[in-house]
Amino acid sequence: MAIIHFDTPTSGCVEPRPFTRAGRHQLAAGLAVPPDAAGSSKLEPSLAKAEKLAASYPDHDVVLTVMTDWELFDENPSAVYARLAKFPGKVFAAVLRTGPQPWMLDPRITVVAITAQSEPGTLAKTMFEALTMHRPDRKPTI
């Protein structure tokens, strides 16, 4: 598991770690807002990093979860969305505060809307689904 912030590279990004006790400690540290993050709303740099990581692990089942309001400022958002849909693994799009965008109707992307009206734990269920996606005998949570 890895953590890639939108402002990649930042001190908060965590390279792939096993989900062990030591790995979880390192991953948890990456869940805070990095002090050197500018608050970018550009997906392309972090998507490029995720694509590079996926290519580095060709024998692994890859899952990408992107959490944002999807109000992106990439120079060519359509191209970024097309790349996201072609990501070499399962993609979860957690849509924070807004409704799903039309491009998210791509069947390769699982969209989960997270709003003030969402059931408590909806984001946690989404992350759990992503983390357990490839476990045998798993029961879907979303």
Q: Based on the domain organization, do 4 and 68 belong to the same domain?
A: no
| Domain, as residue range, for 117 | 41-132
Instruction: Please report whether residue 141 resides in a domain.
Output: no
| 71 plus 119 within the same structural domain | yes
Tens of pLDDT, residue by residue over 47-56, are 999 999 999 9
pTM for the whole structure? 0.87
In tens, the pLDDT along 86-106 reads 999 999 999 898 776 777 778
Domain for residue 139, yes or no?
Answer: no
Q: Which amino acid is at 8?
A: T
Cα–Cα nearest to 7, from 57, 47, 63, 45 = 45
Has residue 138 been placed in a domain? Answer: no
- What is the DSSP code string of 73-141? --SSHHHHHHHHHT-SSEEEEEEESSPPPGGGG-TTEEEEEE-TTSPTTHHHHHHHHHHHTTSTT----
User: What are the backbone angles phi and psi of residue 80, rounded to the nearest 5°?
Assistant: -65, -45
CATH number at residue 69: 3.40.50
Indicate the number of domains in the chain.
2
What was the pLDDT predicted at 2?
Answer: 94
